[in-house]
Amino acid sequence: MLTIIRIDRWDPRRDGPMTETSLRRKVESYGYQVSIYIWPGGTVVPAKAQERERLDAVVSGIVKITLDGESAILTAGDIAHVPRGAVRRVEVIGSVPARCLGAVSTHARSIPTKVT
């Protein structure tokens, strides 16, 4: 199965200044329950099929997300859409910790589609 990674990139002209609070509000506005993750540099979250639709958002740091073998680099303000059933792997790039918001669907409404 080919998964095209949907990424919503932060746009300060549209979204205002990027802060953890503003990113959290944006993710919650899509109907997701948010948790905070702080991963040390070099952390690898092993590949696992996702039981629920989720969003992964980066507050700080650099993260490589791989869905069904397709990879993308995420930086501050990026939100990746992870469909239910996708095999997801996460890797923190470099030695700097990554602060991320992990969010699971709570009857989420559609997020704007932006394929990059």
> Residue 100 above 50 pLDDT?
yes
Give domain status of residue 51, yes or no: yes
Give CA–CA dist 116/104, Å, rounded.
22
Tokens 């639709």 correspond to: 53
What's 76's domain CATH number? 2.60.120.10
Give CA–CA dist 109/116, Å, rounded.
21
Contact status, residue 88 vs residue 48, Cβ threshold 8 Å: yes
Q: Provide the residue range defining the domain that includes 92.
A: 32-105
Give CA–CA dist 111/31, Å, rounded.
9
Give domain status of residue 70, yes or no: yes
User: pLDDT tens digit string along 38-76?
Assistant: 999 999 999 999 999 999 999 999 999 999 999 999 999
Predicted structure pTM score: 0.88
Tokens 């989420």 correspond to: 108
**Residue 25: which pLDDT band, with cuts at 50, 70 and 90?**
very high
Give domain status of residue 113, yes or no: no
Based on DSSP, count helices (H) and strands (E) in the chain, helices before strands. 2, 9
Give domain status of residue 112, yes or no: no
Total domains in the fold of the chain: 1
